[in-house]
Structure 1
Amino acid sequence: MLWTGLLMLILVVGCSSDESSSEESGGSSSDGSGEGGVSGELELQYFVGGYGDSWWKEVIADFQEEYPDVSVVEHAGPNINDEMRSRWVSGDPPDVVYIDGAGSSETQMVEDGQLMNLTDWVEEIEVDGDPLMDSFLVEPATYDGDIYSLPLVFDTWGTWYNKKMFEEKGYEVPTDFDSFMSTMGEIQEGEDIAPFVTTGQHPYYFLRGVLYPAFGAAGGDELLSDVITGAEGAWTSEPVLEVMKKVEEMQKAGYIDDGFGALNHTQSQMDFLLGDNAFIPVGFWLPNEMKNDVPEDFSFGFIPSPMQNEGEAFSIVPDLRPLAIAEGAENPEAAKAFVEFVFSREYAKLFSEHTGAIMNLNGVDLAKSEGVPDYLIEANKMINDPEQVQLNNKPHPMSADLEEPISNSLVSLMLGNITAEEFTEEAEKAAAEYRNSN
């Protein structure tokens, strides 16, 4: 099955997503003129996080060698989405954008008419002789049947745990919500810590890392789609209320670190690595992003977020990081040439070498990769067991116009300032306002 093949790739890699760097580079090479007469300046915006930027640098250098008449201007860094916002708002966007990191929203950009419709063009692209559309591990997001971005990176969220602590103290790795609560109670008592931490400055970590799989487990793709699109009645439905009552239960038990609201993502991850907490919801990029800060004796453990009821399968929700072309691109031909250039199995291999993550392409042979982390081997065994894990797909990312108010209410719930019922009512109101504005 596709999912089994996908996770066999994850077996020999790791993942990432959120950190730093910024730079410009123009350049040329020898060997004739650019293919197809492509020339001029190409502006490229990419977020630099846990994946780093070394892969981008190599690809861009190769592209400029292939297209010597194109001068690439890079806009990159951990805050690039905020830094470039005025360009997008004023109608002067870069040509190509990699959509990732805080401050970015693919769905919002589509709704605002900022991205080029790629539906027809993508059918022309091939990867090593195969149609690109047949080469994706997970297909592009669609908006009323149209494609505006191409998924470059495959990732998934889950819950990481302090494996060394678990092994030394004999704590049970959760298999469902009841065992999750039981283990957190034992850790709270045995370690005198709040067992669970996340970032309050970026509440979407909890939304995507805990609630999405919880909704997938509770109501499958249909419920997941309804909450993401803000369908009428979704956020006040019984399955959603049941999930939110679980979050409320975690908060009332004191299992959520009461200081989470002030933490950014790296601060919360550092607290986890230092043993101040035992669980944290993050994507597969965590070990790579924090590699310079991991204590020598620390050991990572990973499970799909255990929010499902006893006897039910875990849920995994793929999380894709796409590449898109601006609707207002000044050099659309160079933009298309770059996007097509990037999607190759050669660069997919290089991506894994540079980042410990995987590109969203099938047929990439990573079997000879060395140094596969133990947590990936263990996660692979679990995820490839259909009796333990089910795959749930979202239609597209949630719009920032809906995600922001829901995230604010989520923080209030996790701080104990509102009840689960009040949260669902606030979320339903936000969804109604979102529907009315679109």
Structure 2
Amino acid sequence: MGSTSAANHGDGGLGRRDLIRRSAALGLLTLPTAGFLSACASSGGDSQDKAAAGKKTAKNPLAVNESAQMEFVLFDGGYGKEYGQDAVKIYEKDFPKATVKFSTTQKIQSTLQPRFNQGNPPDLIDNSGAEQMDMGVLVGKKQLADITPLLDAPSFDDPNKKVRDTLRPGIVEMGQFDGEQVWVLYYAYTVYGVWYSQKALNALDEQYPETWDQMLAVCEKAKKKGMAGWTYAGKYPYYVPFSLYPMIGKVGGREVLDAIDNLEPNAWKHPAVKTCFEAYYELYKKGYVLKGTPGLDHIQSQTAWAEGKALFIPNGSWVENESANVIPADFDLAVSAPSGIDSSDKLPFGTLWASGGEPYIVPAHAKNGEGGMEQLRIMLSEASSKNFTTKVRSLTAYNGGTTGISLTPGLTSGVAALEKAGQNVVNPRLQDWYVQLEKEKIGVAGLGEMMAGRLTPAEAVKKIQGFADEAAKDTSIKHYKHQ
């Protein structure tokens, strides 16, 4: 998602988070079509042209064919492409006889779907953005390679430490869909939440609101000064969950989010969901949402917010890089966990959503999958992680990589938010497991309609529960559950 992209994204994200996701900065809304799903089912068998295995050595633990071409397709979103290009240079230095074909696109699905169908996909893909391929479908159709060999390989920096032992908590588990195999490596580490200017909050003589009554009071104060309380990506309202989902988890406990992910009957009818929907609907009803927000895309809403037209925006940590050209130097960017309702909430203030974003995959039919995994091994080194963090103002899946580099305001705030959250970090999986349900149905047809005032909270709950029930009964899609 980041920009899944998010979802996200440099998801950043949905991805991110890709997630998300995404992770991931998310681009235009285009979702996997039925044609894509059926095409995956009938894609070609193993490529006849797979590269022969290379010689396994201490420097080449994945036995990469040293002269085989390696193809890497990167999502060109909120995190840009420079970090990928820099990592490719290291691959080329380590394998001087190999050629690397590196390209970027925002249209991951429409660009790569035909190649999956033909059994001729690239070796490494940053599967992020709004045109993210549905990973639940790819796993279900056996289109992805298990990346356990990468995780069990010696890390790039320390041969006595496996790659898996250098990763942040939750990264390996996020790549699992059904059992022990790992299908996805989320490269960015995204902090989702409510983003704001500390300078603007100070000008109102306010602290970040911890309860919803306090939130409404801050929004009222902002309104009196001619500033909206909130804006969001109205055209892509699946950004709203970046703060709404962890709020639901805070109010009702993480088991409410697990039930939603598991597509359990009546999961959306839990009182915590209803309460949080009603809270967000109050922002609309009281006129605290920037006028015209339902017609804004992610860039337009972020720009309006950076210009001081709105105080708060739900987003992922890719926003600092994606909006760098419009955020004023003295903005003092900060992120907080979502406000709760009151002291009866199940989890304390500080509960937030943080997870892997920018989902990287190695296709099952890649010609040089070992090369794709080796490229990821390079990217999970301390030097590559520091390079990413320095250049794009975001953390990576590598557990470290911040020593000795000066962190930007948003990143400093994100690290502090993670420390405050402690064990109270939630990780909703809908955006990974059911991309179409999350973006098109829950996001656009449900939350988007409610936040625009076209559905009441009760109607939105009923509609979204209906979408979840349809997905639960749909035998054409693979279903996943929290273990």
Q: Are 2:142 and 1:113 aligned?
A: yes
Kindly state the Cα deviation for residue 232 of structure 1 after the two structures are TM-superposed. Answer: 2.2
1:75-224 maps to which residues of 2 (within 5 A)?
75-104=103-132, 105-119=134-148, 122-127=151-156, 128=158, 129-138=160-169, 139-140=171-172, 141=174, 142-145=176-179, 146-191=181-226, 193-207=227-241, 209-224=242-257
CA 1:226/1:172 → structure 2, altered by over 3 Å: closer, same or farther? same
Kindly state the Cα deviation for residue 272 of structure 1 after the two structures are TM-superposed. Answer: 0.4
1:15-414 maps to which residues of 2 (within 5 A)?
18=25, 36=63, 37-104=65-132, 105-119=134-148, 122-127=151-156, 128=158, 129-138=160-169, 139-140=171-172, 141=174, 142-145=176-179, 146-191=181-226, 193-207=227-241, 209-310=242-343, 312-321=348-357, 322-364=359-401, 366-370=402-406, 372-378=407-413, 380-381=415-416, 383-385=418-420, 390-395=424-429, 397-403=432-438, 404-407=440-443, 408-414=445-451
Contact 1:17 1:289 in 2 (8 A): no
| Residues in 2 aligned to 1:310 and 1:50: alpha-carbon distance in whole angstroms | 37
The amino acid that maps onto 2:245 is Y
Contact 1:281 1:305 in 2 (8 A): no
CA 1:70/1:169 → structure 2, altered by over 3 Å: closer, same or farther? same
The amino acid that maps onto 2:73 is Q
- Identify which range, 262-271 or 86-95, moves more after superposition: 86-95
Contact 1:258 1:415 in 2 (8 A): no
RCO (CA 8 Å, sep 6+): is it higher in 1 or 2? Answer: 1
Secondary structure (helix, strand or coil) at the match of 1:130 reads: coil
| Residues in 2 aligned to 1:263 and 1:100: alpha-carbon distance in whole angstroms | 21
Kindly state the Cα deviation for residue 19 of structure 1 after the two structures are TM-superposed. Answer: 8.6
| Residues in 2 aligned to 1:421 and 1:290: alpha-carbon distance in whole angstroms | 35
Secondary structure (helix, strand or coil) at the match of 2:230 reads: coil
- Identify which range, 86-95 or 261-270, moves more after superposition: 86-95
TM-score by length of 2: 0.77
Contact 1:194 1:277 in 2 (8 A): yes
| Residues in 1 aligned to 2:447 and 2:340: alpha-carbon distance in whole angstroms | 16
The amino acid that maps onto 2:273 is V
Contact 1:148 1:324 in 2 (8 A): yes
CA 1:134/1:227 → structure 2, altered by over 3 Å: closer, same or farther? same
Partner of 1:4: none
- Identify which range, 84-93 or 37-46, moves more after superposition: 84-93
The amino acid that maps onto 1:301 is A
Identity %: 23
CA 1:161/1:147 → structure 2, altered by over 3 Å: closer, same or farther? same
CA 1:120/1:79 → structure 2, altered by over 3 Å: closer, same or farther? closer
| Residues in 1 aligned to 2:473 and 2:154: alpha-carbon distance in whole angstroms | 37
Kindly state the Cα deviation for residue 377 of structure 1 after the two structures are TM-superposed. Answer: 4.2
- Identify which range, 210-219 or 419-428, moves more after superposition: 210-219
CA 1:41/1:386 → structure 2, altered by over 3 Å: closer, same or farther? closer
CA 1:336/1:39 → structure 2, altered by over 3 Å: closer, same or farther? farther
TM-score by length of 1: 0.84
| Residues in 2 aligned to 1:86 and 1:308: alpha-carbon distance in whole angstroms | 47
| Residues in 2 aligned to 1:271 and 1:80: alpha-carbon distance in whole angstroms | 28
| Residues in 2 aligned to 1:118 and 1:380: alpha-carbon distance in whole angstroms | 28
Secondary structure (helix, strand or coil) at the match of 1:43 reads: strand
Kindly state the Cα deviation for residue 108 of structure 1 after the two structures are TM-superposed. Answer: 4.0
Secondary structure (helix, strand or coil) at the match of 1:201 reads: coil
User: Unpaired runs of 5+ in structure 1?
Assistant: 1-14, 21-33
Partner of 2:41: none
Contact 1:232 1:432 in 2 (8 A): yes
The amino acid that maps onto 1:46 is L
- Match of residue 454, structure 2, among 417, 426, 432: 417
| Residues in 1 aligned to 2:147 and 2:85: alpha-carbon distance in whole angstroms | 25
User: Unpaired runs of 5+ in structure 2?
Assistant: 1-16, 18-22, 28-58, 478-483
How many residues are aligned here?
A: 407
Secondary structure (helix, strand or coil) at the match of 1:235 reads: helix
| Residues in 2 aligned to 1:382 and 1:158: alpha-carbon distance in whole angstroms | 9
Partner of 1:23: none
Secondary structure (helix, strand or coil) at the match of 2:167 reads: coil
